[in-house]
Structure 1
């Protein structure tokens, strides 16, 4: 197993840096094209229908055809929009989505034309904080798109998104704190190296569950797709967008899905390490093989996104906010205290507390699930009863009689 040497970062020749950046860009574009087609196929299978089956063999070129169609459509700019902000919003959304992948480790050290280099564009001592900061910028594109459109429905979608991202980014960041404490570093390659023996999904199960829930809310995916809830918002913040501008919002959404999936694999599933029992094979974690394990883990989370969209209905906004502020954040704070105590005991030589941490994580995960279920039951709307109608002559404020009662009163008076 060859973990990257931190001294290798920043010393690659310019052509190798350019090649790795281009490779990440192509990897993300191909992942998006494949994910769109796979999602439509998976949703069709789960909903007992065919899905795309016309363009290309078995519909495999449908995503490419949709991209070409969007590129060739006329780009319309509605009257009354703030033109420059309206045009800049899709760009603000899509660029941070690509930038965040720069510090994701996709493998160990490999040899490229005689140069030893890690399968990672770069790394930072605070790489995970860099990802949080960059992905947070993407919400500005959504908010500005809603505001610049000059319409009420996109504005409402943008406001919903700002509240949603603020709420769930707090829970997401708190889920990272336990990883930082236990690994002792914020570097992504260092976190992967710390999972050489045991993956953090087993040691830090509550943090993993909080992160998985938060990443779905962070990417505005079902059942948390409230900023673009077409049932009441006609499409949300991108209602007034068409052609390539609309395609850029869709590209940003799927690239963000890939980024948060890669981050989940990096922080909790051992990164590019091969799963057991494949890891017992000599050479499974060397060369270019780790790129295969990393891609498989990312696609596992992408499948989870698609599965949730096919099975769960959209949550109400009050349920969604209650889950973030009253469940995820308090559970994360309590779990951080437990992890900190165990880390201090481990530093003093009490290594057996790792088993206790696993047991505490299982208990906390069960409590988290039960709390979320109870809050969902308690948040059900009360039964609606018909309002009682009082006669206009019993001292109440005079109101017009209901239809049919006026004739009845006249007949009674006669």
Structure 2
């Protein structure tokens, strides 16, 4: 009974974090982008600095009519937002926040995380195919091509950390982490974070959406709460990517003076800010530039990181 209660409490905390953190990330993106681009935006909702604007947007989405195109595959069309969102909730179950603060400590946690994250892209592919819209289909095809290109450097960069730590358990990787890993694994960190942004289809890797070309890509025909679920999936993906980068490359809960979970959340917050900063700073890549970056840039860098990790492990062993 005690074990069941402990698991239930952990899952409740994870669900609460999943519901709150993406909303905070979305609010932060609105406000940070507004200041970076010298445009204040809505400032009235909630009073101070328009803090409740995101809540107002959520209410607006809830009030909108749910429309399903006549040519759509209704079942797949309705299922796609959940397929895009749920994998990130599942991933959070195995991401450690502090010593002993993890939903489930899997021996092959890193493999589990990488496998489940790839499922989220299927939501966009399903939405594109099921919408019965040529722009949506193009967006779904671009999502598939982007997944194929950037999954390889993502996995190779993560494998370098697992090789260095000698374990696939995420808490085990954090416990094995040492401060001198920062320069040693820097290449892998950049590759992992960049490939993660591409899998999330975040700017400048947002060719599957590219509103100036294909309206909103796979989400073109979505309205109301279904559209809001896609947006929530994007912000949840940002939290997951930032948390995984923190766990794998930045030492997770390691840090002086402050409690471990505070360090984890601070590092995640900094990386979320970097995600927003990149969106504001760089224009969208063309499809050929996007593919070239993956195969000519990130994959060789990830292989260099793997070779470097192997050399250091041999010399240290």
Structure 1 length-normalised TM: 0.75
The CA deviation at 1:238 is: 0.3
Root mean square deviation of aligned Cα: 1.3
Contact 1:224 1:320 in 2 (8 A): yes
Q: Does 1:248 align with 2:234?
A: no
* 1:382-412 deviation digits (Å, cap 9, x = unpaired): xxxxxxxxxxxxxxxxxxxxxxxxxxxxxxx
Larger CA deviation: 332-341 vs 235-244: 332-341
Identify the residue that residue 44 of structure 1 maps to in structure 2: 34
| Cα shift at 1:130 | 0.3
How far is 1:327 from its partner?
Answer: 1.3
Equivalent residues of 1:228, 1:237 under 8 A apart: yes
- Partners of 2:26 and 2:184 lie apart in 1 by 33
Q: Bigger shift: 330-339 or 253-262?
A: 330-339
Moved over 6 A (4+): none
Q: TM-score, normalised by structure 2?
A: 0.97
| Distance in 2, Cα, partners of 1:131 & 1:200 | 22
Q: Is the 8 A contact 2:243 2:268 kept in 1?
A: yes
Distance 2:85 2:164 in 1: 33
Q: Which has the higher contact order (CA 8 A, sep 6+)?
A: 2
- Given the alignment of the two structures, is residue 62 of structure 1 paired with residue 44 of structure 2, yes or no? no
Q: Are 1:303 and 2:292 an aligned pair?
A: no
**Equivalent residues of 1:199, 1:270 under 8 A apart:** no
Deviation string 1:292-346 (CA, Å, 9 cap, x unpaired) is: 1111111111101111111111011101100101111122113212211220121
Aligned residue among 87, 91, 98 for 2:78? 87
Cα shift readout 1:261-289 (whole Å, capped 9, x = no counterpart): 00000001110112xxxx1x4xx4xxxx2
CA distance in 2, matches of 1:164, 1:32: 23
- CA separation in 2, counterparts of 1:120 and 1:12? 17
Residue 122 (structure 1) aligned to one of 104, 119, 122: 104
C-alpha separation in 2, matches of 1:36 and 1:44: 12
The question of 1:142 aligning with 2:124 is answered: yes
Number of equivalenced pairs: 316
Looking at structure 1, the residues matched to 180 and 16 of structure 2 have their Cα atoms a distance apart, in angstroms, of 29
Partner of 2:194: 213
2:61·2:224 contact (CA, 8 Å) conserved in 1? yes
Q: Secondary structure of 2:68's match?
A: coil
Q: 2:62 aligned to 68, 71, 91, which one? A: 71
* Match status 1:100 vs 2:91: yes
Give the secondary structure class of the aligned counterpart of 2:182.
helix
Aligned counterparts of 1:233 and 1:133: Cα–Cα separation in 2 = 29
The structure carrying a bigger helix percent of its residues is 2
| Structure 2 Cα separation of the partners of residues 61 and 146 of structure 1 | 32
**Of 112, 128, 131, which residue of structure 1 is paired with 2:113?**
131
Q: CA deviation at 1:253?
A: 0.8
Deviations 1:225-255 (A, max 9, x none): 1111101011111000001110111111110
Comparing 33-42 with 242-251, which one deviates more in the overlay?
A: 33-42
Distance 1:200 1:136 in 2: 27
Q: Structure 1, unaligned stretches of length 5 or more?
A: 1-10, 109-117, 348-414
Supply the distance in 2 between the matched residues of 1:199 and 1:66 (Cα, whole angstroms): 44
